[in-house]
Amino acid sequence: MATVSVLLDQIDSGTMLLPEFQRGYVWNRDQVRGFMRSLYLRYPVGTLLLWETAADTVSLRGHAGGPAVRHLLLDGQQRITSLYGLARGRPPAFFEGDARAFTGLHFNVDDEAFEFYAQMKMRGDPHWIDVSDLFARGLEPYIEKFATDPLLATYLARLNRIYEILERPIHAEALMGPDKTVDVVVDIFNRVNSGGTKLSQGDLALAKICADWPEARATMRTKLKKWKESGYEFTLEWLLRNVNAVATGRASFSALDKFAPDALQISLTQADKYIGLFLDAVAGRLGLDHDRVLMGRYAIPVACRYLHLNGGSFADAREKDRFLYWYVQSAVWGRFSGSTETALNQDFEKAASAGIDGLIDTIARSRGGNLRIAAQEFGGFGMGSRFYPLLYLLTRVGAACDLGSGVPLKAQMLGHLSALQVHHIFPKALLYEAGFSRGEVNAVANFCLLTQNTNLVIGKRRPEEYLAEVEAKHPGALASQWIPTDPSLWYLDRYPHFLEARRELLAQAANAFLNELLQGRGAATADLLPRVTEVTPDEPDERQRSVQALVDELVETGYARPQMDVEVSDPRDGRSLAIAEAFWAEGLQTGQGNPVILELDPREADLPRLNELGYEVFESVDALRRAVERRAEVAAGVRSAE
């Protein structure tokens, strides 16, 4: 048993650290408030579980030299990290997460409430005390501050109750002995944390790798940072899948167990090269140049395996086009949205035995031999729809022109013109006024891409007005964007017919381009597409603003940032279950609780299947806000759990 002060000193000296397999800090502000309230009221706050081990037996986070024997936190990271952040006014060296969760906590000496700093409420009120300042400077400054206050003794007693937390003993149990290997300890960790932040299969595999190659996680994060700067955001687990594809040709992470560190380092270097080569092809040939439109990211391990089997490159431009054909087809049909490992293993084997022809045959067989895209496939809605990236692809690779300038959108664009926006051909406001649903208003077939300037100029004008002007000023511009040129379809009462006609045009364009890839026609002379700086939605409507406001509130409080406007697929067969306004795939707090979905159009989602899969589905912003508020009150200790 040691006091809080001693434990914090051990962190400073490097005696207490985190094993590299631990996930980062995930508590939010309400949990920190609740924890401090429990400490203040002298409630039990649990014990710590430590792993006592030699420094060279496991990869450590925040390690910078120090004692040969370390105490590694297995259970208690969130509590000890919070205490350290509050007492020291900074996060510990091993910290990974959002320090705002414990920055700015204040205590009111009048009503004994813990709250985070709010300028309008606290500025100028001497009764609000910065908890970190109290821990750092002790009681003396407050004796002077409240010297003339008749409640001086009461205030000091309350502040001293907080300050004495530093001397509170915390019970700890330790695992030690030569039998406590990384595998054993990781298993114990997952059992102890069964109700908390559990490790994924990728975490477990990486924990074992780090035991023999301590720099593995840091090296892999460097790769991820490079791709993030290029516009693509990936996870450690995704990268490890690519390494596994190169090293073993298997999808299961257990296949990595027998590989020595030097072999894994070589495989990571090779995977890094293959990923870069493939992303260059995806951006330069398909125009999928940023994270929002990068479809089928779990097809990339197959690309890594294919390239590895073929000497690290495509034989020629035609072979690359055919592989890109398979990639697009696997993405639009959701090949890896279901049982990912099963599909990966099948494709790894097919790539080795039959090459690109085998991969194409496999995806064709899964579709009953029919890989043509039908018009109704463009019937989805939102930028989260599986077919939105295909619309973006067609715009980038084709001759699509900006409706305001007539300039081809795949041309190199400079300054403000390098940013594109999603434009609703029929303005949202008009459609909502006419009674159309969100799905109809935000149909992919109602989207086109324009420069920001053109989008601003068009604004909310009626399509029968501005489309006629576009056709007069820039003949062919509408056709280049697969917008029906029949003026009778440009009126509000013909909107459903407009969508039907445009879906047909988009499907024709998609099939023509995919056939070009399959045949390899023009592959050698295809222009390398320049990157655009960004693509953003047009002006959000009131509902989108309310969703964004809630997300911003949650992130500020310390909850995870969700995916926005995203398709949620059935893990069994890849079928689309919903286009969620917001989706927390690993729970509101990463690794804790069930996945959470905000779906404002429940009639357009498969709610029974989502519930069957264990997703928490909220059908309004207010419902989710109330649920979060209840959770916050429980976490902060002002409401009992129901």
**DSSP string for residues in 385-446:** STTHHHHHHHHHHS--B-TTT--BTTS---GGGGEEEEEESS-HHHHHHTT--HHHHTBGGG
3-state DSSP call for residue 49? Answer: strand
Q: For 14-54, write each residue's pLDDT tens digit.
A: 888 887 767 778 888 999 999 999 999 999 888 888 888 76
Query: Which runs of E-coded beta strand occur in 85-158?
Result: 105-108, 114-116, 128-130
Over residues 456-463, the mean pLDDT reads 90
Over residues 132-157, the mean pLDDT reads 93
Cα 382 to Cα 212: distance, rounded to the nearest angstrom:
45
User: Which element (helix H / strand E) includes 160?
Assistant: helix 152-163
Q: For 212-254, write each residue's pLDDT tens digit.
A: 787 888 899 899 999 999 889 998 899 999 999 999 999 988 8
3-state DSSP call for residue 3? Answer: strand
3-state DSSP call for residue 284? Answer: helix
Q: For 286-330, write each residue's pLDDT tens digit.
A: 999 888 899 999 999 999 999 999 999 999 999 999 999 999 999
Nearest in space to 244 (alpha carbons), one of 233, 230, 259, 223: 259
Over residues 372-390, the mean pLDDT reads 89
How big is the CA angle at 606 (ends 600 and 610), to the nearest 5 degrees? Answer: 90
Strands 128-130 and 105-108, sheet pairing:
antiparallel
C-alpha distances in Å from residue 358, one per residue of 223, 297, 362, 363: 31, 20, 6, 9
Residue 347 near residue 302, CB atoms below 8 Å? yes
Residue 206 near residue 217, CB atoms below 8 Å? yes
Over residues 369-383, the mean pLDDT reads 90
Q: What percent of the chain has pLDDT over 70?
A: 89
Helices 621-635, 29-40: crossing angle, 10 deg rounding: 30
C-alpha distances in Å from residue 539, one per residue of 24, 90, 424, 459, 563: 35, 39, 10, 9, 19
Cα 302 to Cα 343: distance, rounded to the nearest angstrom:
10
Strands 69-75 and 16-19, sheet pairing:
parallel
Q: For 541-555, write each residue's pLDDT tens digit.
A: 778 889 999 999 898
What's the mean per-residue pLDDT of the chain? 87
Nearest in space to 491 (alpha carbons), one of 431, 546, 444: 431
Over residues 362-378, the mean pLDDT reads 93
Using 50, 70 and 90 to split pLDDT, how confident is the model at 503? very high
18-32, 136-150, 425-439: range with lowest mean pLDDT: 18-32
Over residues 70-98, the mean pLDDT reads 90
Edge-to-edge order in the sheet of strand 114-116: 114-116, 105-108, 128-130
Using 50, 70 and 90 to split pLDDT, how confident is the model at 359? very high
Residue 175 near residue 188, CB atoms below 8 Å? yes
User: Side chain identity at 489, as an amino acid letter?
Assistant: L
Q: Looking at residue 415, what is its pLDDT? A: 46
64-78, 128-142, 317-331, 484-498: range with lowest mean pLDDT: 64-78
Q: Looking at residue 166, what is its pLDDT? A: 95
User: Which element (helix H / strand E) includes 172?
Assistant: strand 172-175
For 633, the token pair is 């009150």
For 123, the token pair is 């500025």
Largest pairwise CA distance in the chain: 88
Length of the chain: 642
Residue 263 near residue 247, CB atoms below 8 Å? yes
Using 50, 70 and 90 to split pLDDT, how confident is the model at 130? very high
pLDDT of 390 strictly over 70: yes
* Residue 567, strand partner residues: 579
* Residue 72, strand partner residues: 17, 51
Residue 100 near residue 29, CB atoms below 8 Å? yes
pLDDT of 414 strictly over 50: no
Q: Looking at residue 21, what is its pLDDT? A: 67
Number of Cβ within a 10 Å radius of residue 534 = 14
- Dihedral sign from CA coordinates of 495, 501, 504, 509: negative
Using 50, 70 and 90 to split pLDDT, how confident is the model at 453? confident
- The residue among 592 and 440 whose pLDDT is bigger is 440
Over residues 157-174, the mean pLDDT reads 93
Using 50, 70 and 90 to split pLDDT, how confident is the model at 356? very high
Give the 3-state secondary structure of 433-485.
HCCCCHHHHCEHHHEEEEEHHHHHHHCCCCHHHHHHHHHHHCCCHHHHCCCCC
C-alpha distances in Å from residue 365, one per residue of 348, 353, 573, 629: 16, 17, 15, 49
Q: What percent of the chain has pLDDT over 90?
A: 54
Q: Looking at residue 416, what is its pLDDT? A: 47
Nearest in space to 384 (alpha carbons), one of 437, 432, 447, 435: 447
